[in-house]
Structure 1
Amino acid sequence: MGTVAAHVAAAQPGREAARQALDTAAVEVVVEVATKVEQTPWGTRFAGSARTSAGEAPVTVQWRGDDPPIGLDLGARVVITGEAEASGPGEAAVATVFADEVSVTESPAHVFGVASSLRRGFVADVSSSLPGAGGDLLPGLSVGETSAVTPELDAAMKASSLSHLTAVSGSNCALVVGLAFAASAACGAGRRTRVVIALAVLGLFVLLVTPEASVIRAATMSAIAMLALLLGRRGSGVAVLSLAVVVLLAMDPWLAASYGFLLSASATGALLLLTPPLARGFERWMPRVVALAIAVPLAAQLVCGPIIALFASEVALYGVVANIVAGPAAPAATVLGLIACLAQPLPLLASGTAALAWLPSAWVARTAETFAGLPSARLGWWEGALGGVTLALVGVIVTVAIAGLPASRVGERSRSRWVRLAVMAQRLSAGAVALILGVGTGTAALGGIAAPLTAPREWSIALCDVGQGDAIVIRSGAQVALIDTGPDAAALRRCLSRLGVDSIDVAFITHFDMDHAAGLPALEGRVATIVHGPAEREADLAPARAAADDVRAGHAGMHGRVGEASWRILWPAGETRAFPPGNDTSLVLEIGGGAVPRTLLLGDLGADAQRILVDGGTVAGTFDVVKVSHHGSRDQFPALYERIRPRVALIGVGENDYGHPHPDALAVLARSGAVVARSDTDGLVLVSDTERLAVWRDEPPP
């Protein structure tokens, strides 16, 4: 700890100077790429070392462009222009650079260039000829190259808790080191030579798969094990892991804040410490081979689950079973895929080996897709510290129920008391597990197959409870429209599942603020057409294009039908320059007809834009339902609501620091005579118009 603290203290002045130098709205900086270049829904992302007036400093780069330039890879030198934002003191990068332009001045050279060519060639020339998801996944399984993995397959891998298979781990490094050690031994090399060759091959492998946190941890453990062998000593797995963690944190203290490093180290510790007692516990009911097959993924899930809950509000419900099914195929795909990648200079050997690797790769992909498609594959959970603590408590209960308490090292007089305590704890834990399983099964059923039974069937408008954001579903006959996605894809998925909505005919993204568009991944594979408001940058459209093949810009005058209802966009005009992209250029829609009451959806329009709607006569007549603008902010034009005289006012709002909905906005709605329904207090809100206009609330007011 002292070494780590000293490193942080020594580095902090230089980091702070670099942070201040980079915290500017306009920046041009030279960056040497030090990580994998990844494609995200928001563009291209990588990290590296930037040259600043205060010296070299680590930065993260987020590029808004569509396709990365040729040569952008680990080891490249690039010039970036854009804007920079200083990071918090606990983050590894001193700043995030939001790049407008990325220019490669030096492509990866020497061994970096060879590794880059092998990775890119494996994707472009070898795996691309293989069919389906098996070909897309193979580079990820073998060398950690996930650029070919589609958003749908990536979501399935995460939902089934199989995404760790595309992150190079200790098993990959151990395999490479073992093969190198065995090959050099077969050639008659001595122990020292074998260790040196194995370490050299390990270093080249790290460059091939790129030095991510999990790779660095695994490689360090392998290197320590090799050095121990060279010295004629054998160390336990726990000792090797502990030394590796200490060494890495001393070299880079900011790894302690890396979720990838935490998950990698924790999973390894779980396999070393938790798997044996769990396997012994399972042996009471099943053969040892089966017990071990279950204990390995269960140990990893019990330990990693609380860490994942810190940043994700979901639990992969079928993760253990999916890992049992996919586990045996992963090593074969890894070994054969790695051979195919390295054999690219011999095309016949590369293509033949890749064809053999395709079968286990396809098995893993199909397993992920199958389990991700099961009801409640992603079980909702609390996010943050509460979610982590509660899931850790569940893990302790499950472990005690299966393995019991560890043997006590006490005298004979106290041993019987300890045995009674251990038996009682195990029984209580077993009861708690039964209760958790019962509650979990019921929750999964209510959130999956039985979800539509928990809400009235006759509805035409649904205001989803997605937190501080908008997500409104409109149904007419057999067709469905969605207006905005809210900030949380998991919350939107739960709402759609509860409503029994499997497919969406048209989705409207009024504008690209996170509280209206961040849930777009929930629409992947279920939406036909997306109509969007003005985008500030081309990269904003990437999540929409990943979700639907038909993505088009919306403008005033565009119209269409959803079932028996007609919709029309009222705002903004196609080439308006009165307002920049954002709240005041939100799509404004009216929709109605059939069983859908006449509805006006105002996006996040402010008072000035609302005034233009009124003064220009764009909004005509009265409306049955209005989606209140900007979550009920104070920035409203009262005359608009007085003109449309809504009977029902819907407010999409969650916990927030903005004071939404503002008392002034609520007063405007009260004067217009509207019944107000808001998702923060009412939960899911349904509106129907059969014999009369009716509002149903998930959590009725007292």
Structure 2
Amino acid sequence: MIRDLRLVPVALATWATALAVVLWPPIAGTAAVVVWCAAGALLVAAFLTRRGVLALAAVACAAAAVAASGVWLALPARATVAEALDGPVRDLVVHVTTKVEPTIGGVRFSGSATIDGATATIAVRLTGDAPDGLDLGARVTITGGGKPADAGEPAVATIFARSADVVERPPHVFGVASALRRGFVDDVVRGLPDPGGGLLPGLSVGETSAVSDELDAQMKASSLSHLTAVSGSNCSLVVGLAYAGCALCRLGRRTRIAVAGIVLAGFVVLVTPEASVIRAAAMSAIAMFALLLGRRGAGTAVLALAVTALIAADPWLATSFGFLLSAAATGALLLLAEPLARGLGRWIPRALALGIAVPLAAQLVCGPIIVLFAPEVALYGVVANMIAGPAAPIATVLGLLACLAQPIPPLALGAAAIAWLPAAWVAQTAATFAALPAARLGWGEGWLGFLLLALVGASCVVVICRVRPVWFRKACGGALALIVGAGAGSVALAGVAGPLTAPRGWSIALCDVGQGDAVLLRSAGRTAVVDTGPDAAAFERCLARLGVDEIDLAFLTHFDADHVTGVPALEGRARTIIHGPVSEQGDLDEARAVTSDVREGFAGHSGVLGDARWRILWPRAGSRAFEPGNDTSLVIHISGPDLPSTLLLGDLGEDAQQLLASASELGPVDVVKVSHHGSRDQSPALYAAISPRIALIGVGENDYGHPHPDLLATLARSGAAVARSDTDGLALVSIGSGDLTLWREHPPSAASARGARTPHNRRACDPRGAQRSRPPPRPKRRHGSRRALRRARRPRVPPPTESLRLRSTPTRAHRG
């Protein structure tokens, strides 16, 4: 085992040096000279002392020096091309060297460009559809605008192209591979049902152009996206089949290896040379070379040698996440899969233990790397890979056969039809696990998230593999149990247990979505939402916690971001959307993506929600008194036997509120959704007219002073109990037996402990809802023991409560 790991330090030294000089190019020359000198000195020392360790160190320094020298020599050409492409670009000839992949609104690819005799790699983002013939190996002319790339990027510049013309189609073998890929997608799998039909080219030849955005997201959420990235397993299958075919024909070992090598090279061209493909092909080539020499290459040594050779040849691979993930996953399978299988084998059958160990090893090593650019963890990735993994090789082999057999249509179509079944199995597995609660568990960002998840993975390995000493294993097990328990609790609260943490008989809910509005109304089992807040994820959490899966009616009062950013959370839930005036038609794009029933609302519109009746009071149809925005927000009144009389004021300012009061017969209401997050721009006369019993303020951390003390004072004069989402969190209003109940996620006492500073929050609330501004009287110094006197001096603090019951009594100043 130790002998197998001897080349790992060589690979790590080469990778570290390449990463340093690529990220900081000015040090490349110095680093190259220093490392070459170190390699020479170590080689002389190894020759004199006959020590293998010094020879290995000399090899490591030599490989690192090659990488540093490559960067140093490439710097002048890269600088020339980057400077020339900083600005408008016209008729630039680019030789395409990568796969052409679809992106939002166009395609992207990389290629080499030559300017003033200097050649360097550039990235191209083309707007619109790709021209016919644009593929690996083609030569195109592009026109657009260029921008130099940051240090560490393989491409020296990015060209945002407006047009691209194919000058030369992919030649010879590249043209054949391009025709096979295009024909496979356009002809062979076109008639197969989705999503299995679109996924099949990705599983077999890495062609993901037919994979829908929805399926792509599901594959990532279930940690199955690696199946569409051609890697070592695909190369091993192809090489193994070629070698076995030659063996059946009784060909010699050298012929078998030569044929397998040719087949491997053709496969790389067919699937395009991405980072993971290059790594897998290099490992296969090294393994076949070792076989040619009559030696058995250890997997770890082959991986280390492949990584060393590839990074020395192309130092910019050191910054490629794809290359890093591919190498890390392979190393995990070689080093961790067997120990994990032995550890799990103590509790479960050997076959099942090995089936769990393989995806578990890959996820434990790759998870921290993924967190660096996508701070989330695929919670069900191991199980999803266990279920989908066996189907992937079948789809790969049959799909590859269907792709290569296109000149014989019956064979190609038959193989594709059979391969569709395992491809559909993989797609359905991804969809099933992506739909489970907390399929993507949020995680810390950056290096802190990386280290934390790496520690979790290391703890798993220590516990499963029974690493000694025992106290260390127990400590890791305790930390792991604590983390898993906390994670399971978070998942449960975000899923099925969420509705259990709040009262179930609510009629009105004020969601805590930050500086914005999101209010839910419910009557007779029907639910409406008024605005969706500035954060779709926060709105989703509120809906999940309240157990809301269907929304019968959604009101979008106006189109400010703090009211409509969460509209995508309505997809699959909302049936009808009623919106306020729009300034441009693009405002409705997200709403129309949710439902086809999108209507504009004006004063006079009305309808029912369960047993309650709603009506729009503002704005007037055709009025031009205000531009679309805050002052044209929909103002909605709703009431019913199981829903308190409620007025929702949107973001109306004082002038619009005064016009509303003069145009509508507004009487006392039970609940008001305060306008504009409690800003100062309010009409005290309006609040005096409606005399609310409860005032809801959707507000978060802000620099505007919301809610303003003047508004809070106005509400206090009207006798309203105030619930604000920044200090109270989720607030629920329910009605029963003529009583209103206000439930706060954070009771007033807790809100005070959290640092609420407004005069309203410094006041205590008695159980009857009356604001008590005077502290209780101090006890008189009379008789009694010293202990009793100290007890009497303690301030009387009302017990924490999560509900505030408001009863109609003759003593109330407002409505009885």
Asked whether the equivalents of residues 560 and 568 of structure 1 are also in contact (C-alpha less than 8 Å), the reply is no
1:625 alignment counterpart: 673
Higher relative contact order (CA 8 A, sep 6+): 1
Decide which of 307, 330, 333 is 1:271's aligned counterpart.
Answer: 333
Distance 1:444 1:13 in 2: 53
* Aligned equivalent of 2:454, options 368, 392, 399: 392
How far has the Cα of 1:427 moved from its partner?
3.1
What pairs with 1:550-569 in structure 2 (closer than 5 Å)?
Answer: 550=596, 563=609, 565=614
By how many angstroms is 1:177 displaced? 1.6
The alpha-carbon distance between structure 1 residues 397 and 122, as it changes in their structure 2 partners (threshold 3 A), is same
Q: 2:98 is matched by which residue type in structure 1? A: T
Quickly say closer, same or farther: Cα 1:229–1:154, change in 2 above 3 A: same
Distance in 1, Cα, partners of 2:164 & 2:684: 54
- Label 1:319 to 1:475 Cα distance change in 2 as closer, same or farther (>3 A): farther
Aligned identity (percent) is 50
Does the residue aligned with 2:304 lie in a helix, a strand or coil? helix
Moved more, 21-30 or 121-130: 21-30
Looking at structure 1, the residues matched to 300 and 290 of structure 2 have their Cα atoms a distance apart, in angstroms, of 14
Instruction: For 1:427, give the aligned amino acid.
Output: K
Give the counterpart of 1:593 among 611, 625, 638.
638
Deviation at 1:616, TM superposition (A): 11
The one of 222, 226, 233 aligned to 1:160: 222
**Aligned partner of 2:491 among 429, 432, 444:** 444
1:177 corresponds to 2:239:
yes
The 1:37–1:592 alpha-carbon spacing in structure 2 relative to 1, beyond 3 Å, is farther
Between the aligned partners of 1:94 and 1:505, the Cα distance in structure 2 is: 52
Deviation, 1:133, is: 2.4
> What amino acid is the match of 1:379?
L
Amino acid at match of 2:401: I
* Mapped pair 1:501 → 2:548: yes
**In structure 2, do the counterparts of structure 1 residues 574 and 64 end up closer, same or farther at CA, with 3 Å as the change threshold?**
farther
Alignment of 1:195-234 (within 5 A): 195-234=257-296
Question: What is the SS of the residue equivalent to 1:304?
Answer: helix
The CA deviation string for residues 292-318 of structure 1, in whole angstroms up to 9 with x for no partner, is 111111111111111122222322222
Note if contact 2:509-2:521 (Cα within 8 Å) is conserved in structure 1. yes
The residue correspondences of 1:84-103 to structure 2 (distance < 5 A) are: 84-99=146-161, 101-103=162-164
Aligned to 2:165: 104
SS of residue in 2 equivalent to 1:404: coil
The alignment yields a C-alpha RMSD, in angstroms, of 4.6
Distance 1:338 1:500, change over 3 A: same
Question: Which residue matches 1:661?
Answer: 703
Deviation sequence 1:404-428 (CA, Å, 0-9, x none): 22xxxxxxxxxxxxxxx52332333
Structure 1 CA distance, aligned partners of 2:141 and 2:603? 43
Amino acid in the other structure paired with 1:593: I
**Structure 1 stretch displaced more, 301-310 or 18-27:** 18-27
Q: Does 1:370 align with 2:432?
A: yes
Displacement, 1:701?
A: 4.9
User: Closer, same or farther in 2 for the Cα pair 1:689/1:281, shift >3 Å?
Assistant: closer
Q: Are residues 1:44 and 2:106 paired?
A: yes
Three-state SS of the structure 1 residue aligned to 2:189 is helix
* Selected match of 2:698 from 643, 650, 655: 650
1:367 maps to a residue whose letter is T
Residues 565 and 309 of structure 1, relative CA distance in 2, 3 Å threshold: farther
> Could you tell me which residue of structure 2 aligns to residue 657 of structure 1?
none
Matches within 5 A, 1:275-674: 275-405=337-467, 421-457=468-504, 458=506, 460-465=508-513, 472=518, 474-477=520-523, 478-481=526-529, 483=531, 493-504=540-551, 520=568, 525-526=572-573, 548=594, 550=596, 563=609, 565=614, 590-594=635-639, 595=643, 597-599=646-648, 624-625=672-673, 628=676, 639=681, 648-651=696-699, 660-663=702-705
Where structure 1 has 5 or more consecutive residues not aligned to the other structure, the ranges are 406-420, 654-659
**Greater radius of gyration (CA):** 2
Q: Deviations over 1:16-35 (max 9, x none)?
A: 55445444488775544433
1:270/1:308 CA distance change after superposition, 3 Å? same
1:307 partner letter:
I
Give the CA deviation at 1:500: 2.1
Instruction: Work out the CA distance in 2 between the residues paired with 1:199 and 1:53.
Output: 35
Distance 1:664 1:279, change over 3 A: closer
Structure 2 residue aligned with 1:252? 314
Distance (Å, rounded) in 1 between the aligned partners of 2:281 and 2:494: 42
In structure 1, the partner of 2:180 is 118
Residues of 1 paired with 2:377 and 2:699: CA distance? 29
CA distance in 2, matches of 1:273, 1:493: 41
CA contact (8 A) 1:481 1:562 kept: no
Tell me the equivalent position of 1:416.
Answer: none
Q: SS in structure 2 opposite 1:175?
A: helix
Structure 1 residue 394: Cα displacement: 0.9
User: Residues of 2 paired with 1:266 and 1:558: CA distance?
Assistant: 64
Query: What is the Cα deviation at residue 5 of structure 1?
Result: 3.4
- State whether residues 462 and 472 of structure 1, in contact with CA within 8 Å, keep that contact through their aligned partners in structure 2: yes
Q: Once the 2 structures are TM-superposed, how far is the Cα of residue 641 of structure 1 from its aligned partner? A: 8.3
Question: Structure 1: which amino acid aligns with 2:270?
Answer: L
Q: Secondary structure at the match of 1:128?
A: coil
The amino acid of 1:220's aligned partner reads A
Contact 1:503–1:527 at 8 Å: present in 2 too?
A: yes
- Say if 1:615 and 1:479 are closer, same or farther in 2 by CA, change over 3 A: closer
CA–CA distance in structure 2, aligned partners of residues 571 and 185 of structure 1: 84
Query: In structure 1, what is the Cα distance between the partners aligned to 2:599 and 2:125?
Result: 24
Q: Is the 8 A contact 1:27 1:84 kept in 2?
A: no
Displacement of 1:270 in angstroms is: 0.7
Corresponding residue number in structure 2 for 1:413: none
Contact kept, 8 Å, 1:336 with 1:357, in 2: the verdict is: yes
Maintained 8 Å contact 1:512/1:535: no
Contact 2:107 2:130 in 1 (8 A): no
Displacement of 1:626 in angstroms is 5.6
- The TM-score with structure 2 as length reference comes to 0.68
- Following TM superposition, by how much is the alpha carbon of 1:598 offset from its aligned partner in structure 2, in angstroms? 3.8
Alpha-carbon distance, 1:134 to partner: 2.1
Q: In the aligned structure 1, how far is the partner of 2:437 from the partner of 2:320?
A: 32
- Alignment partners' CA distance in 2, 1:429 and 1:155: 33
Task: Give yes or no for contact 1:112–1:207 (8 Å, CA) kept in 2.
Answer: yes
Residue pair 1:473, 1:481 contacting (<8 A) in 2 also: yes
Tell me, yes or no, if the aligned pair for 2:268 and 2:277 is still in contact at 8 Å. Answer: yes
**Match of residue 4 from structure 2:** none
CA gap of 1:49–1:109, structure 2 versus 1, over 3 A, is: closer
Give, as a single letter, the amino acid of the residue that structure 2 aligns with 1:625. K
1:4 is aligned to 67
Asked if structure 1 preserves the Cα contact closer than 8 Å seen for 2:518 and 2:531, the reply is yes
Q: Normalising to structure 1: TM-score of the pair?
A: 0.77
Tell me how far apart the structure 2 counterparts of residues 271 and 476 of structure 1 sit (CA, whole Å). Answer: 53
Instruction: Tell me the secondary structure at the aligned position of residue 469 of structure 2.
Output: helix
Q: CA deviation at 1:156?
A: 2.3
Give the residue type in structure 2 aligned to 1:428.
A
CA distance in 2, matches of 1:69, 1:31: 14
Conservation of the 8 A alpha-carbon contact between 1:24 and 1:83: yes
Pairwise CA distance, 1:241: 1.3
The aligned runs of 1:8-27 (5 Å cut-off) are 8-24=71-87
Amino acid of the structure 1 residue aligned with 2:638: G
In the other structure, the counterpart of 2:56 is none
Structure 1 residue 592, shift from structure 2 partner: 4.8
C-alpha deviation, 1:74, in angstroms: 3.1
